[in-house]
A = this chain, B = another copy of it.
């Protein structure tokens, strides 16, 4: 009759509580790692911040490194979700590109911890881990390249190898994220997105120079 066999009695693991706490730990970890850097972030301080024992942290993440990498993954996941959400319902691929660029810049401006964690990841684990950022980027690139192909077929984009476009746009956004983070934001994200779109879409040459 009872759907749960209840073979085991005793204090049960509450999966929801478990997942919630995991999230709380990650959230705090993202903040502390970004604020102090990986080596200066003390697990004791993290535990104190969360009002839990250090042992609890280690119940959820087997090591400081695992926790850190999970934190990096979490912020990258949220960036991807933000971008995906921003193009939902948009049919025009060119508009999708515009929105994605805008959302990317707005997200990283609002979440500077992303840039910091990516830096820390590379600096601390240079030989141990393919950078999380490029794992995500590789996973998404093909979808964008398909959109470029479609637009080339429609005659809206010049007939150039789509890898060229996706690489240039990808590297430009990547460089812009760090340049903004390191020098302080130079412009509101919206304007910056316009600048990027202007150059990438139209190039810098004048009409006459183009046709030389």
A173 nearest in chain B by CB position: B175
List of B residues within 8 angstroms of A168 by Cβ: 172, 195-196, 199-200
Against B, the Cβ 8 Å flags (1 = close, 0 = not) of A193-212 are 00110111111111111100
- Which of A57-65, A68-76, A78-86, A157-165 lies at the interface with chain B? A157-165
Are B126 and A206 in contact, with the CB atoms below 8 A?
no
Are A202 and B205 in contact, with the CB atoms below 8 A?
yes
Copy tally for this chain in the complex stands at: 4
Are B164 and A209 in contact, with the CB atoms below 8 A?
no
Are A205 and B156 in contact, with the CB atoms below 8 A?
yes
Are B175 and A206 in contact, with the CB atoms below 8 A?
no
Asked if A171 is at the interface (CB within 8 A of a chain B CB), the reply is: yes
> How many of chain A's residues touch chain B, expressed as a range?
35 or more
Are B204 and A134 in contact, with the CB atoms below 8 A?
no
List of B residues within 8 angstroms of A210 by Cβ: 201-202
- Which of A18-26, A42-50, A178-186 lies at the interface with chain B? A178-186
Asked if A136 is at the interface (CB within 8 A of a chain B CB), the reply is: no
List of B residues within 8 angstroms of A201 by Cβ: 203-205, 210
List of B residues within 8 angstroms of A148 by Cβ: 204
The 8 Å CB contact of A116, one of B39, B126, B157, B176, is B126
List of B residues within 8 angstroms of A126 by Cβ: 37, 116, 119
Are A171 and B167 in contact, with the CB atoms below 8 A?
no
Q: Write 13 A-B pairs (CB below 8 A) sorted by A numbering.
A: A10-B53, A37-B124, A38-B123, A116-B126, A120-B123, A134-B183, A155-B208, A157-B204, A158-B204, A164-B198, A174-B178, A175-B175, A175-B177
